[in-house]
């Protein structure tokens, strides 16, 4: 109990300090973050990519072994949710507003970077491949490994859903395990808080820009951004005062349905043949290089390529690691009763397939315009990335309706993410209490708002990505520890079962 109170007080103090620093002096916080993140990426980028690729190979290997038959829970437990609903919930929790924001902007930004170096067809192919890789199966391997470790120890060994639980379970009474476990919980809280705050900023930027488009204005004003921010806080504070129930699930499902509707609308009303071809080609290109690309650090391509790799791929991998404990707990909670094989295949393949379709549709139509010299989408990559999704919708029929749907989906994704994150942060900071008090949940909700404000005041999405990376760096090593603990537990339990069978 004492350790829980210390963890709660320490984690709240750290998040409050970072948030207040960012509000008072965002420039100095950004300079501090950039200096640390840049140095880490230059010296340890190889470690991040190696670790993430090992997680992916480990997850895939589990499906081919006897361990894949192990059920997360008692042998008689069965899944609570149908597979389609479960996969939809995975996707909504793990990515959400980010895909809405970067749907067009990321592939075209990559295309802009290489269009003068490579022939345009190859540049287009590589741009789509980069986006698919950054949002693909490696991200879900991070989520899957974290979630599987938490779920296995919770459902098979009866531990609380805490990042520290595997260490404390495997090494009971060991001071070093207790100390490292406490630090793991502390850094998980920091990674979640700063990572979700970054998504709050992203969502505010996009919703404000969408509202600006609907009002017929050119640029989102500080007043508009501030208004959206206040409305977002007003929307997520009330749900924190009640239990997390079916209402939040319904909001997530509405947001997901809107996202699916948008991608179908884009394919049907856009250049359909080109988009369907780009989706199929994108999947093929991605599958062909997915493993070796996970070990590529662009060492031999010069300073510009190395910086591009750090600014995008490395930043994304660390971003997914920042969300790992949050998404991990959520995925673990909704996955009881599934076998490890079902779990791994569902977590890795379902959301990855949807994201490749998403970028093939939205990124494909942006690339179509760029290759045919149409519109101004490519130019917007250098001036206003917040506007790009709405600029694409504007060139298709019913743009007012689809812009409104995008704004609503982004708003709902952020509200549900913050509410879920506040519950998870409350659980972590109170020693694993699955139902933290309303007071603790509201405190975390307000702190996420303060951190989100700090991110917004940083002024750009590049700055937001840097701040998220800063919060997640220590957790890179913790995910490796979780992987080692899971392997040890699987082998231990397998030996026990074999010994029992021999008797």
The highest-confidence range among 137-141, 399-403, 446-450, by mean pLDDT, is 137-141
Nearest alpha carbon to residue 446 among 9, 15, 81: 15
Residues 427-445: tens digit of each pLDDT: 887 777 767 788 888 888 8
pLDDT at residue number 251: 67
Q: Mean pLDDT of all residues in the chain?
A: 84
pLDDT at residue number 392: 86
Task: Indicate the pTM of the whole model.
Answer: 0.88
Q: Which range (90-99, 126-135, 143-152, 425-434) has the least confidence?
A: 90-99
Whole-angstrom distance, CA of residue 84 vs CA of residue 135: 20
Q: Which range (47-56, 348-357, 470-479, 486-495) has the least confidence?
A: 470-479
pLDDT at residue number 420: 79
The confidence band for 79, taking pLDDT boundaries of 50, 70 and 90, is confident
Nearest alpha carbon to residue 43 among 358, 332, 362, 473: 473
Give the other-Cβ count within 10 Å of 75's Cβ: 7
Whole-angstrom distance, CA of residue 236 vs CA of residue 447: 12
- 339 inside domain: yes
Residue showing tokens 């662009």: 298
Whether 107 shows a pLDDT value over 80: the answer reads yes
Residues 109/386, Cβ–Cβ less than 8 Å: no
pLDDT at residue number 102: 85
- 476 inside domain: yes
Residues 287-310: tens digit of each pLDDT: 999 999 999 988 888 888 888 998
Residues 194/472, Cβ–Cβ less than 8 Å: yes
Whole-angstrom distance, CA of residue 44 vs CA of residue 39: 8
The confidence band for 461, taking pLDDT boundaries of 50, 70 and 90, is low
Residues 203-246: tens digit of each pLDDT: 888 888 888 888 877 777 888 888 888 888 888 777 777 665 55
Q: Mean per-residue pLDDT for 238-265?
A: 73
CB-based burial label for 252 (10 Å; 0-12, 13-18, 19+): buried
CB-based burial label for 259 (10 Å; 0-12, 13-18, 19+): buried
pLDDT at residue number 483: 93
Residues 214/403, Cβ–Cβ less than 8 Å: yes
- 500 inside domain: no
Q: Which range (180-194, 236-250, 417-431) has the least confidence?
A: 236-250
Q: Mean per-residue pLDDT for 355-373?
A: 90
Q: Which range (83-87, 95-99, 486-490) has the least confidence?
A: 95-99
Distance set, CA 320 to CA 36, 141, 191, 276 (Å): 19, 10, 10, 28
The highest-confidence range among 8-17, 369-378, 394-403, 459-468, by mean pLDDT, is 394-403
- Tokens at 329, concatenated: 């707990």
- 18 inside domain: yes
- 501 inside domain: no
pLDDT at residue number 452: 82
Distance of CA 322 to the CA centre of its chain: 8
Whole-angstrom distance, CA of residue 114 vs CA of residue 321: 28
Q: How many domains does the chain have?
A: 1
- Tokens at 446, concatenated: 């307000």
Whether 150 shows a pLDDT value over 70: the answer reads yes
- 503 inside domain: no
- 310 inside domain: yes
pLDDT at residue number 387: 79
Residues 370/138, Cβ–Cβ less than 8 Å: no
When comparing pLDDT for 50 and 328, which is higher?
50
pLDDT at residue number 75: 81
47: CATH = 1.20.1740.10
When comparing pLDDT for 182 and 220, which is higher?
182
339 has which bridge partners? 71
- 502 inside domain: no
Whether 395 shows a pLDDT value over 70: the answer reads yes
pLDDT at residue number 169: 92
Residues 264-273: tens digit of each pLDDT: 999 999 899 9
pLDDT at residue number 8: 66
Residues 463-500: tens digit of each pLDDT: 677 777 776 777 788 888 999 999 999 999 888 877 76
Nearest alpha carbon to residue 236 among 148, 89, 125, 228: 228
Q: Which domain holds residue 127?
A: 2-495
* Phi, psi values for residue 269, rounded to 5°: -95, -10
* Phi, psi values for residue 339, rounded to 5°: -75, 160
Euclidean distance between the first and final Cα of the chain, in Å? Answer: 41
Residue showing tokens 């791994």: 344
Give the other-Cβ count within 10 Å of 398's Cβ: 12
The confidence band for 93, taking pLDDT boundaries of 50, 70 and 90, is low
Whole-angstrom distance, CA of residue 275 vs CA of residue 386: 23
């Amino acid at each position: 109990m004492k350790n829980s109170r210390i963890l709660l007080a320490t984690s709240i103090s750290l998040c409050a300090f970072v948030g207040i620093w960012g509000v008072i002096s965002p420039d100095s916080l950004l300079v501090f973050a950039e200096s640390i993140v840049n140095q880490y990426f230059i010296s340890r980028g190889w470690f991040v990519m190696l670790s993430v690729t090992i997680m992916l190979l480990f997850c895939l290997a589990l499906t081919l072994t006897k361990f894949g038959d192990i059920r997360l829970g008692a042998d008689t437990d069965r899944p609570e949710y149908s597979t389609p609903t479960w996969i939809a919930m995975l996707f909504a929790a793990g990515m959400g507003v980010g895909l809405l924001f970067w749907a067009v902007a990321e592939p075209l930004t990559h295309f802009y970077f290489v269009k003068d170096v490579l022939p345009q067809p190859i540049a287009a192919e590589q741009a789509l491949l980069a986006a698919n890789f950054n949002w693909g199966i490696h991200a879900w391997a991070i989520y899957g490994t974290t979630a599987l470790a938490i779920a296995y120890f919770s459902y098979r060994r009866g531990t609380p859903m805490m990042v520290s639980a595997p260490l404390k379970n495997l090494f009971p009474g060991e001071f070093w395990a207790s100390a490292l476990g406490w630090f793991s919980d502390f850094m998980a809280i920091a990674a979640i808080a700063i990572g979700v705050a970054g998504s709050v900023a992203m969502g505010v930027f996009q919703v404000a820009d969408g509202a600006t488009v609907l009002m017929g204005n050119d640029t989102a004003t500080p007043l508009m951004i501030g208004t959206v921010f206040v409305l977002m806080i007003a929307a997520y504070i009330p749900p924190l005062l009640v239990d997390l129930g079916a209402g939040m699930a319904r909001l997530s499902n509405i947001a997901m349905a809107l996202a699916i509707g948008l991608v179908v609308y884009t394919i049907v009303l856009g250049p359909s043949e080109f988009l369907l071809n780009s989706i199929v080609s994108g999947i093929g290109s991605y599958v062909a290089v997915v493993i070796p690309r996970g070990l590529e650090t662009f060492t031999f391509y010069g300073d510009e390529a190395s910086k591009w790799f750090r600014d995008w791929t490395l930043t994304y991998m660390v971003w997914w690691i920042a969300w790992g404990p949050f998404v991990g707990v959520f995925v673990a909670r909704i996955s009881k009763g599934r076998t490890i094989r079902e779990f791994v295949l569902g977590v890795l393949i379902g959301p990855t397939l949807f994201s490749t379709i998403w970028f093939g549709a939205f990124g494909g139509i942006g690339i179509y315009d760029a290759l045919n010299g149409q519109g101004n989408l490519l130019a917007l990559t250098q001036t206003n990335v917040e506007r790009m999704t709405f600029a694409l919708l504007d060139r298709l029929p019913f743009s007012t309706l689809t812009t409104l749907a995008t704004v609503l989906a982004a708003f709902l994704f952020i509200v549900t993410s913050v509410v879920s994150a506040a519950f998870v942060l409350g659980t972590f900071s109170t020693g694993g209490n699955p139902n933290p008090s309303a007071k603790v949940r509201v405190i975390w909700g307000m702190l996420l708002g303060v951190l989100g404000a700090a991110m917004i005041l940083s002024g750009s999405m590049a700055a937001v990505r840097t701040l998220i990376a800063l919060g997640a760096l220590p957790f890179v090593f913790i995910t490796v520890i979780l992987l080692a603990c899971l392997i040890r537990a699987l082998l231990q339990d397998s030996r026990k079962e074999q010994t029992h069978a021999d008797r």
